[in-house]
């Protein structure tokens, strides 16, 4: 099991740590996307979690300021978080959906925008991470997950 906890940022060192986490996450998503190892959308994520939770290693829950008041979305998040905790799936909260959309090329082939509120990264990507051109810092970020 890989547990990641992030302390409240305070001081320059905390800002540097958060910047490195942000960069590592961006590199992981960028590398996983062409491998087909990302599931996008609350409904699609719920289906994937239900079908095969053992292959999911990271769950991103993303919101913007207006989403905080969306009760239905918060209920979905609560259920997804509970399921992820029960199945030892790491969760990261993201508060910049615009940047997430840029990284994931947030438009479906038909021009329709994607639901980026929930994004899953699967094991298939992590098994291939050593063969990809992924920086060592990113590999270290996920190595404990790969050995569990």
Q: Per-residue pLDDT for 4 more than 50?
A: no
| pLDDT tens readout for residues 25-41 | 888 888 888 888 899 99
In whole angstroms, what is the distance from residue 142 CA to residue 118 CA? 19
DSSP bridge pairs for 9:
none
Element spanning 38, H or E? strand 38-40
Within-domain flag for 5: no
In whole angstroms, what is the distance from residue 139 CA to residue 129 CA? 7
The domain containing residue 77 runs over which residues?
Answer: 41-137
pLDDT for res 110:
60
pLDDT for res 6:
42
- The pTM (predicted TM-score) of the whole model is 0.72
Within-domain flag for 74: yes
CATH code, 99: 3.30.1330.30
- Rg of the chain (C-alpha set): 15
Number of domains in the chain: 1
In whole angstroms, what is the distance from residue 123 CA to residue 37 CA? 8
């Amino acid at each position: 099991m890989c547990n990641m906890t992030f302390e409240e940022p305070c001081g320059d060192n905390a800002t540097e740590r958060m910047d490195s986490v942000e960069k590592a996450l961006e590199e992981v998503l960028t590398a996983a996307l062409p491998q087909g190892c990302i599931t996008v959308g609350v409904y699609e994520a719920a289906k994937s979690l239900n079908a095969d939770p053992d292959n999911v290693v990271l769950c991103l829950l993303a919101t913007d300021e207006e989403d905080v008041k969306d009760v239905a979305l918060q209920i979905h998040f609560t259920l997804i978080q509970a399921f992820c905790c029960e199945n030892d799936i790491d969760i990261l909260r993201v508060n910049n959906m615009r940047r997430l959309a840029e990284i994931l090329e947030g438009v479906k082939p038909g021009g329709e925008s994607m639901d980026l509120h929930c994004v899953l990264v699967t094991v298939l990507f992590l098994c291939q991470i050593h063969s990809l051109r992924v920086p060592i810092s990113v590999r270290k970020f996920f190595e404990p997950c790969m050995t569990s």
